[in-house]
Amino acid sequence: MQSEADRITAVLCEVLSGRLEGQEIGPDDDFYAMGGDSLTALLVVADATERGVPLGLRELLYHPTPRALGAHLAGAAAGGPGDAPPAARLTAADLSLLPDGVAEALPASALQVAMVYLCETSTDPALYVSVLEWEVAGALDGDRFRRALAALCERHPALRSSFDLGTYSVPAQLFWSSVEPPLVAGPPEEPLAAPDWGAPPLFRCRVQDLDGAFRVALAVHHTLVDGWSLGRLAVDLMSLYAGVPLPPLPDGVERAFAETEAAQSASAEAAGFWARQTLPSLLFPDRGRFGGAADARETAGFPLPGGLVEGLTAAARRLRVPLKSLALAAHVRAFAELTGRPEVVTGLVVNTRPELPGSDLVAGLYLNTLPVLLRARDDWADLAAAALVAERGGSRYRAYPLARLENRLGRPAFDAVLNFTRLGVHRELDAATGLETGGWRLRGKPSFPLRVDVEVDGVEGGDRVVVAFDPDLVPPATAGRYTELLRRALAEAVGA
């Protein structure tokens, strides 16, 4: 009689053979060695699930042969499907396995797990490494800077964390009691290579002593912090260096997010809501790696003159919508004209930070990218209002994992992503510390084929639009055409 492990192994061999260009896949053939990638993995998950094999991306990453995966899934059958909702807490058995020196452990978020997965399957060591640099007037006090960095690590648990995706019943983020401050000296080249997920800290700080000034570079892996948090770290580091007292951080923010994500992931209502925000087909037929870590190595874009930003702000006030909603409306208008489709589905970066007092001071990964479905309208007031309603409508489910949605769809959920930011961190830093800073620079490679950043008061370029794209997936002419359409749409929105 065939065992359950053998049955699953046979199904997986058939599924993998069908998705790997008809290759004959045996029980001990490695999915990735045979040409599998992150998009194919999504399709394999969907196919296996349809055939009654509960499979998730994490299982495929850590058990890449049909035999190993079959044994793992058969042994875990009592625990439910691989695409089960994230847990809110580790079990008592998990906690008993924690190594010495770990102060707390929580389930890693679905976004963190997806990022680790994409990094492990990518050959790009710069993927998801965010680097923020700035220059400070005045002589460097090396000892004081080192103490400030140590205090920054002590203040923010995320900087003392690592990941373990295989030991516990769920992927885990481990928060250690202490870490050695990762300070290096020398020229400001990128100070963080491919991470060792189990060896904290997953960030580096580089300081270069200049003539009458010094330059600081913070390189933090995106699994630890979002863009707002990266700016927060710069403010806190310089405040600590300047001896400026910082307010205490609230407790429980990380746990509150884990519980929210677990609750929303288990909600059939949330799953249905986001599925209705997608379209059955995408724009770019040659998707290649389109569901995974695209190589958005080329950029287009344009500055936003002060007069244009003032005009857009005034128009948003007249329409009684946030500036972000007007930017989303312009993006939809441009994308609809680009594609010739009246309905547009776009990814929108949203804030998932728990609504707790002081949570804005906590460094962590509190964002998500989820689909928004809008019909382009000629009337700016109607379109901007619809953009606001769409974002507000999804706010109650904003912690629902994108990876979970795409697992269910078996494909990417959208073509392009819009990210609107208004940070002004450099102004806050100077005001809070009395230090004079300048030469700000922010680096980081997007993982979507086409990502549009509308930055107001950005640290590096002030007010501007940056369009980053993967030329293997998005033809440069298409990206250029979209960029010009967006420029025109923003100019037209001023008169709304």
437: three-class secondary structure by DSSP:
strand
Give yes or no: residues 280 and 372 share one domain: yes
* Structural domain count, the chain: 3
Non-local (6+) Cβ contacts of 142 within 8 A are 207, 209
Looking at residue 288, its pLDDT comes to: 41
131-187 pLDDT, tens digit each: 999 999 999 999 999 999 999 999 999 999 999 988 888 899 999 999 999 998 765
- Binning pLDDT at 50, 70 and 90, where does residue 431 land? confident
Is 440 part of a structural domain of the chain?
Answer: no
Structure tokens at 494: 């001023």
20-38 pLDDT, tens digit each: 877 888 999 877 667 676 5
Looking at residue 159, its pLDDT comes to: 97
**pTM, to two decimals:** 0.82
For 203, how many CA atoms within 13 A lie in the half-sphere containing its CB?
A: 29
Looking at residue 191, its pLDDT comes to: 47
Is 218 part of a structural domain of the chain?
Answer: yes
Is 62 part of a structural domain of the chain?
Answer: yes
Q: Is residue 219 within 8 Å of residue 129, measured between CB atoms? A: yes
Count of beta carbons in the 10 Å neighbourhood of residue 477:
8
Give yes or no: residues 464 and 354 share one domain: yes
Is 206 part of a structural domain of the chain?
Answer: yes
Q: Is the pLDDT of residue 110 over 60?
A: yes
403-421 pLDDT, tens digit each: 889 888 877 889 899 999 8
Give yes or no: residues 310 and 353 share one domain: yes
Cα angle 263-264-268, degrees, rounded to a multiple of 5: 110
Backbone angles phi, psi at 296, to 5 degrees: -80, 70
Give yes or no: residues 483 and 338 share one domain: yes
209-250 pLDDT, tens digit each: 998 999 999 999 999 999 889 999 999 999 999 999 999 999
Range of the domain at 32: 4-79
Residue for token pair 């995320």: 158
Q: Is residue 203 within 8 Å of residue 219, measured between CB atoms? A: yes
Count of beta carbons in the 10 Å neighbourhood of residue 281:
10
Tallying the residues shown for the chain, one arrives at 496
Is 259 part of a structural domain of the chain?
Answer: no
Give yes or no: residues 233 and 270 share one domain: no
Give yes or no: residues 184 and 300 share one domain: no
Give yes or no: residues 96 and 75 share one domain: no
Give yes or no: residues 72 and 181 share one domain: no
In this structure, what CATH number is given to the domain that contains residue 365? Answer: 3.30.559.30
Non-local (6+) Cβ contacts of 100 within 8 A are none
d(CA 144, CA 216): 14
